[in-house]
Structure 1
Amino acid sequence: MNADTADAAIRVSHVVKTYPLGAGEVVAVDHLSLDIAYGEFVAIVGRSGSGKTTLLNLLAGIDRPTSGTVHVARADLGSLSESGLATWRGHNVGLVFQFFQLLPTLTVVENVMLPMDFARKVPVADRRDRALHLLDRVGIGDQADKLPATLSGGQQQRAAIARALANDPPLLLADEPTGNLDSHTADAVLKLFADLNADGRTIVVVTHERDIRSIVGREVTLVDRRIVDDERTGASA
């Protein structure tokens, strides 16, 4: 790995991602290159089918490129085995999804503790206290011992963000995190992301939010699976 790659949180170089479709294939990402520095807050925007979620899955190591390279958090994801990717992800990436994906039979605090059980970065004796601290950080500490179904959508997304922070990852990846929320709640969740970025965390969010430019520091626009615009917004974290 060269020095430039080591200094970037994310370096995507000439990546193509295709999927088989019948007798042919569909191109999901088309010769895409993108660098994101540590500490940036970047929005990936574009219409449905533009390649946004595929790009995010490549950054998370959930998908592998058909060609090209993906370096994230000082790792060449293409060189890692599936188990290696899982270990790397547990230590380096927090994932937030549109539909929360909290386990319904676990309490909120147990959901937040779950990634700690997998990654084993946090000592067992400290896990509940850390989970409670994170729930306080996102504003729902009083909901810790409730089941997810008893929480509002906004509260569930805050719980999902706390879970994503469980192992203190340097990178947060969020796929339409406000897509299932009303506008007032969406604004509050995006403000929470901005606060986390102000603490120094690198954040990449795929979103349809029209006023995202007032919050993020950079907006990358995809059209037909390619980057057509990459603009600094001037927003301060």
Structure 2
Amino acid sequence: MGWSAWLREQVYPRGGFKRATRYVVHRMRRLPDQPHRVARGVFAGSLIGFLPLPGLQFLAAWGAARLARGNVLAALLATFNTNPVTTPFFAVLAMTLGHWILGIEAPLNADYIGHAFAGAGSDLWFNFTSIFGPEKARWDGLIQFWHEIYLPYFIGALGPGIVISAIAYYVTIPLVEAYQKARAATAHERGERRRKMRAKLAEAAAAISRRDEVPGDEAGDDGPGAP
């Protein structure tokens, strides 16, 4: 898959978000690991997914899962709890809560957030080009973005992220246990059916073998023309 196709899949999956969600849940249930390890991985990945770590979520989820001794694949799958549909709503909630905790008064509207992102992006580009010229780096836009957008987002996302991830942890354990028990029972039934089928085939083969056996000369029958 090329970069353009990959980016398109991140914004809107080809099969829709419903199918993508079902796929993630299906893979989560089928993970060949202990339910508690899967749940710890879900907790770690879900919490990382709520935090503003663009481009680092998979790496951070891997590290968090290793620290929590959880399933790494479950952690990577759980980061998909935030996506282009859910992220804007959670971001506004997290920034609002973070502003309240830090005592920051700022209008959380599209113009304000867009201006902060534009200022941070402008500073990043200017500081990059200043490496090759006489200009000095500037940090005003980045500092404003850090104090009014990123830090409130991070602080405000911790509380709801922990609560939601803890709920996901306790929900995952019985779901994985029930799925693994049902799958084991189904596998046992299939094994019993195969065993019975093999026994029937063996009995049929033995019957055919007995029917095709020739008695030999012990019966004393040499045919109708014998003296």
The structure with the largest strand share of the pair is 1
Normalization by structure 1: what TM-score?
0.23
Whose Rg is larger? 2
Ranked by relative contact order (alpha carbons within 8 Å, sequence separation 6 or more), the top structure is: 1
Q: So what's the TM-score if we normalise by structure 2? A: 0.23
Structure in which a larger fraction of residues adopt helix = 2
